[in-house]
Chain A
Amino acid sequence: DTGVSQNPRHKITKRGQNVTFRCDPISEHNRLYWYRQTLGQGPEFLTYFQNEAQLEKSRLLSDRFSAERPKGSFSTLEIQRTEQGDSAMYLCASPLSGAFNEQFFGPGTRLTVL
């Protein structure tokens, strides 16, 4: 257990529905990352928060995706109008301060879009 929690662990939804995932990072970690991992691939960066500020978004984060970290603690990732191509594992990670500290990953939310 890394101390990073994610909910739900699994989500099955129908195409076109909205879904929201939550990540609770380690409390003293002010940086938070979201990644997406599709089958057979390594995780790919989606977005980055420092405290409550969203400082970077990758090109993978289409307009249907939005992420928030309202009080600099937990974070949510919402996908609107889900598509089958959104089916993936969504991972949240938080590192200690510093340039090269390990990122502690949560267990992930596995999304299946039918």
Chain B
Amino acid sequence: AQKITQTQPGMFVQEKEAVTLDCTYDTSDQSYGLFWYKQPSSGEMIFLIYQGSYDEQNATEGRYSLNFQKARKSANLVISASQLGDSAMYFCAIPRDTGRRALTFGSGTRLQVQP
């Protein structure tokens, strides 16, 4: 079964600084992908970034980048130049290995950006 571990329940970062949110995973699939979602206090899940296990280059989307280390089974999210609006819960997720591709989520990291 898939498992996602996010070991940081909460993180603080100063505005304009970079922050890394940790995610480790366990899967029996040979081919898989890692997703990161943001959930503001309003509750909606916002897709941020994705990387497939066979992608050779780390994914980037604007200020978001994935530090994907397949051998260590980690897929950390890096947010550069933090903004106050980045304050939210962040979830790492991996598709389940049942073939239906529902996502298994970690318990999340609450990021607070301080001015």
Chain B: residues with Cβ within 8 Å of the partner, total of 28
- Given A91-B45, A102-B35, the answer on whether A41 and B102 have CB atoms closer than 8 Å is no
The residue that B100 contacts in the complex, of A56, A108, A110, with Cβ under 8 A, is A56
For A42, the closest partner residue in chain B by CB is B105
> Is the beta-carbon distance between B107 and A56 smaller than 8 angstroms?
no
Main secondary structure of the interface of A (DSSP, over half): strand
Contacts of B33 in A (CB 8 A): 99-100
> Is the beta-carbon distance between B96 and A42 smaller than 8 angstroms?
no
> Is the beta-carbon distance between A45 and B91 smaller than 8 angstroms?
no
Q: Least Cβ distance of B68 to chain A in Å?
A: 14
Complex: A37 Cα to B93 Cα, angstroms: 14
> Is the beta-carbon distance between B52 and A45 smaller than 8 angstroms?
no
Complex: A69 Cα to B100 Cα, angstroms: 17
> Is the beta-carbon distance between B50 and A102 smaller than 8 angstroms?
yes
For B48, the closest partner residue in chain A by CB is A102
Q: Least Cβ distance of A8 to chain B in Å?
A: 13
Give residues in B with beta carbon < 8 Å to A: 4, 31-33, 35, 37, 42-47, 50, 52, 91, 93, 95-96, 98, 100-108
Give residues in A with beta carbon < 8 Å to B: 2, 31, 33, 35, 40-45, 48, 55-56, 89, 91, 93, 95, 99-100, 102-108, 110
Closest 7 CB pairs of A and B: A42-B105, A105-B45, A100-B33, A45-B102, A102-B47, A48-B100, A107-B44
